[in-house]
Amino acid sequence: MTGGDQSLTETMTWEVLESDLLSDNWAILKRSKIRVRFADGSSAEQWRETYDRGDGAVILPYDPVRRHVLLGRQFRWPAAYREDPEPWLIEAAAGVLDDASPEKRIREEAQEELGLTLTRPDFLFDLYMSPGSVTEKLHFFAAQYRADEATQRFGGLRNEGEVIEILDLPLDEALTMIVNGRIRDAKTVILLQYAALHLMPKE
């Protein structure tokens, strides 16, 4: 922002003119007509759609002794829908809050997906993952684990159709997998880069 300029928060206002419910199945899809007013007095009306599935939490378990991280590989229908030749994505454990606190949810997800009982997950930050249309805010966590705690090979809830392959990987290998396209999940990339910078930086 240059001298004399006002920020958008000081010069823009908006109001919702109407809102229609398009779907309320797995999540809530709405179409809203909004009017945005600018500092010069002009305004613009826009139609926008929002997809509301609630907020979520994600965690990266890391072993600072071995410089390892614990991830999972699972089938993702949206990737298959796009005819992606590799719809089994490697990801950090995550889940929708469903009215639970972020820490409670991420403890449950770590147990269900990775077979890992967490003692003290550390909160890192909150991020909007796709703010153009998705309302979800994701709560990011990290927690230490030991090699003897990472003995389970598969996780997930079978009654929900989940089969998750658990991967105990060196951090450097996981970072290389970002570069060569084997890890393509945004939340996982963020956590791995955070780990390299702050949790297990090379000396």
What's the CATH code of the domain at 175?
3.90.79.10
pLDDT in tens, 143-169: 999 999 888 788 766 666 678 899 999
Nearest to 187 by CA among 60, 52, 51: 60
Domain range for 72: 56-199
- Do the domain assignments include residue 78? yes
pTM for the model: 0.89
Within a domain: 142: yes
Residue 3: inside a domain = no
If one counts the domains in the chain, the total is 2
The residue whose two tokens read 């705690």 is 149
Q: Is residue 90 a part of any domain in this protein? A: yes
Q: How many residues does the chain have?
A: 203
Neighbouring CB atoms inside 10 A of 140's CB total: 23
Residues 33 and 91 in one domain: no
Query: Other C-beta atoms within 10 Å of 119: how many?
Result: 8
In a domain? residue 131: yes
64 with 130, same domain: the answer is: yes
Q: What is the pLDDT of residues 65-117, one digit of tens each?
A: 999 999 999 999 999 999 999 999 999 999 999 989 999 999 999 999 999 99
Based on the domain organization, do 66 and 21 belong to the same domain?
A: no
pLDDT at residue 116 in the model: 92
